[in-house]
Amino acid sequence: MITLIENFRAVFYAPFYAAEALGAYSAEGLEVEMKMSAAADRTLGALSAGAGDISWGGPLRVMSALDRDRKGGYVAFCEVVGRDPFFLVGRVPFPGFEPKDLAGKALGVVTEVPTPWICLQYDLRSAGIDPATVSLAPPRTMAENAAALAAGDVDVIQVYQPYAEELLDSGAGHLWYGAASRGPTSYTSFNTTRSYIEAQPQAVLGMTRAMHRTLKWIAQHDARDFAAAVSPYFETLPVQRLAACLERYRGSGLWNSDPRVSREGIERLRDAMLAAGYIRTALSYEECVDNRFAERSAREDPPSL
């Protein structure tokens, strides 16, 4: 039995739900129990506390833990979300928007998790803009920011799906920027400890192969099939809107085609974290990632589900 810890419930995590719904783990001879994390910032730590074997979440958490203790032993081994799933949605249309255009705008940023704002700050720095010069709205949740945008209290907000789709559908918001367009940014992976990998290499390989087969299935099916498979995990979200959310994400190249962890994506995330002062250590790719199982799955090329 493998205990898999879910980071939190989100549409961009859909491949993880698809793997369970489609029987990917059992197809690899694995018995997997999925349980919810107590909090996103505690997901990784639950592994060393004995509450689980493998979790999913951001490599940001791996790097943050290793920054505090380089011998902590946490590692990412299978990348699923290889680009940034957040959007900038504005109150009025803005054709040709670039991150530098945020100067002078009232911006509502994500407060629930750190990665979106860390990465957007790096976009600003790359465009020659000091993030400190951007006018930030008072801290709010994404739901509160969506309401503030609809009320005209902010110019632009940072959200993920389904908030973006809901605002676009209602006409209350207009898509300015999909952060996935910046290119590889390692956003979500299977994570574990090096001691677990040493003790259970076949389980780690099986989880990697299961996700590889799931990613192949996603690439071969349309958004309606994908939404039908994962809709039980989103009971309050109409299946048609879920399909629209998934289609927008797939069109952005959000999900990997295979489970290899991108060096470019890890290094971009690390550099963004360093620039934001979130970590102090310039961790190497090898310190954060064990890519052996993903490389093996890529070579063996397992069939789709």
Mind listing the pLDDT tens digit for each residue in 251-262? 999 999 999 999
User: What is 2-82+185-300's CATH topology?
Assistant: D-Maltodextrin-Binding Protein; domain 2 (3.40.190)
**CATH number of this structure's domain 87-182:** 3.40.190.10
Helices 239-251 + 223-230 axis angle, to 10: 120
Mind listing the pLDDT tens digit for each residue in 125-137? 999 999 999 999 9
Please give the mean pLDDT across all residues of the chain: 97
Q: In which band, very low, low, confident or very high, does the pLDDT at 223 lie, cut at 50, 70 and 90? A: very high
User: Per the structure block, which two tokens stand in for 220?
Assistant: 């071969």
Q: Domain locations in the chain?
A: 2-82+185-300, 87-182
Mind listing the pLDDT tens digit for each residue in 176-217? 999 999 999 999 999 999 999 999 999 999 999 999 999 999
pLDDT recorded at residue 61: 98
Q: Are 38 and 87 in contact (CB under 8 A)?
A: no
Domain 2-82+185-300 and domain 87-182, same fold? Reply is yes
Q: Are 122 and 133 in contact (CB under 8 A)?
A: no
Q: Are 182 and 252 in contact (CB under 8 A)?
A: no
Q: In which band, very low, low, confident or very high, does the pLDDT at 247 lie, cut at 50, 70 and 90? A: very high
